[in-house]
Amino acid sequence: VGEQRVEQSTIAVIDFNEDVFTERLIENDEECRKFIGTDTVSWVNFTGLHDVARLQRLGDLFQIHPLVLEDILNTGQRPRFEEVDDRLFIVVRMLYRRAAGHEIVSEQVSFLVGCGYVLTFQEDEGDVFDMIRERLRHARGRVRSMGPDYLAYALIDAIVDNYFVILDDIGMAIEDLQDAIFEKPDHSALRRLHDLRSDMIFIRKALWPMREAVSAMEKTDNVLIARATRPYLRDVYEHTVQVIDSIETMRDMLTAAMEIHMSSTSNRMNQVMQVLTVIATIFIPLTFIVGVYGMNFEFMPELKWRYGYAAIWGVMIAVAGVMLAFFRRRRWL
């Protein structure tokens, strides 16, 4: 079971068809019963998975298989699609930011699509479904006139669409980082690179199985999925594949960034070494020469010469010149 994130579990029901629309919070769990077997579509959204007792009651009401309940509770599931007892069980991973600039929240959302209802389960209150709620309230788009399969599609589509938002952010961050690395490949760039990489590993792990899940959902011949909904599922599938393509591309970009970091660091060290080498190798022999004439031997004829000092300057300038020419020839300058 994931950590508790909300204080109170809630059950929010939206019940609708083309003409009718009801939205309410359920206090007494037994109330849910009256949404079963009607000819309206009911969306029952359960928030707060830590409230296991209440979840269990809901499970009893809707006769959910204990293994399914367990998977709903264990929020580290891989995204997947299953047909259990004539119902569709879908696990997906929702990624969103609570607000721009905030860190990415990852949350498991489980769907149970039955005849006339969609149950959704999430730990946290925040989600990416507000636009769907608005569309339901104001009867915009097709969603009010179609069945629970279309509602499930719309919700999953909202989740997948939000991946694009997240990935665009990350893509821009990667490009910024690549420029920064070219400029100055330092420790903080490495840290950011690593953080982005961890994010990608994490997102990748969440989204790869999505592809399979959505594909299985599209391909099932379960009667719960109407013929008219299939093109929409196909569309979600295409989007998922597109998301995965982007992730792989970003992985390549991050790998490239890592290699550039390594190369840039090497390049910089190379430059540093060259400067050190040039300065050191020019002055080390000169310092030796001046050391020679700093010796205190009594018999050093050069010291007595009239132009000894001038001559030694000449020698030193010549040595430095030869050195510089050597470096120039080796293209180190």
User: In sequence order, which residues have a C-beta less than 8 Å from that of residue 191 and are 6 or more positions away?
Assistant: none
Which of these, 131, 137, 155, lies nearest to 45 by C-alpha position? 155
Q: In what helix (H) or strand (E) does residue 277 lie, and over which residues does it extend?
A: helix 230-292
What is the pattern of x (binds a copy of itself, CB under 8 A) and - over residues 91-110?
Answer: --------------------
Between 137 and 184, name the residue whose CB sits nearer to a copy of itself: 184
Q: Indicate which single residue of 23, 266, 318, 322 sits in contact with a copy of itself (rule: CB under 8 A).
A: 266
In the complex, minimum distance from the CB of residue 55 to a copy of itself, in angstroms, rounded to a whole number: 18
How many helices and strands (H and E) does the chain possess? Answer: 8, 7
Between 78 and 125, name the residue whose CB sits nearer to a copy of itself: 78
In the complex, minimum distance from the CB of residue 111 to a copy of itself, in angstroms, rounded to a whole number: 16
Cβ atoms of 107 and 93 within 8 Å: the answer is: yes
Between 6 and 286, name the residue whose CB sits nearer to a copy of itself: 286
In the complex, minimum distance from the CB of residue 137 to a copy of itself, in angstroms, rounded to a whole number: 21
Structure tokens at 88: 């569709």
- Answer yes or no whether residue 227 interacts with a copy of itself by CB under 8 A: no
- Answer yes or no whether residue 231 interacts with a copy of itself by CB under 8 A: yes
Beta bridge partners of 121: 46, 110
- Answer yes or no whether residue 269 interacts with a copy of itself by CB under 8 A: yes
Could you give the CA distance from residue 54 to residue 126 in angstroms, rounded to a whole number? Answer: 20
- DSSP-derived letter for residue 219 is H
Could you tell me which stretch among 18-26, 47-55, 183-191, 219-227 binds a copy of itself (CB under 8 A)? 183-191
Could you give the CA distance from residue 115 to residue 35 in angstroms, rounded to a whole number? Answer: 11
- Answer yes or no whether residue 60 interacts with a copy of itself by CB under 8 A: no
Could you give the CA distance from residue 330 to residue 333 in angstroms, rounded to a whole number? Answer: 8
For β-strands 117-122 and 41-47, DSSP reports them as parallel
In the complex, minimum distance from the CB of residue 41 to a copy of itself, in angstroms, rounded to a whole number: 21
Structure tokens at 78: 């891989």
Between 35 and 237, name the residue whose CB sits nearer to a copy of itself: 237
Could you tell me which stretch among 52-60, 110-118, 121-129, 181-189 binds a copy of itself (CB under 8 A)? 181-189
Q: Indicate which single residue of 262, 315, 317, 333 sits in contact with a copy of itself (rule: CB under 8 A).
A: 262
Cβ atoms of 247 and 164 within 8 Å: the answer is: no
- Answer yes or no whether residue 321 interacts with a copy of itself by CB under 8 A: no
Q: In the window 121-180, what residues touch a copy of itself (CB under 8 A)?
A: 178
- DSSP-derived letter for residue 3 is P
Between 26 and 258, name the residue whose CB sits nearer to a copy of itself: 258
Between 31 and 212, name the residue whose CB sits nearer to a copy of itself: 212
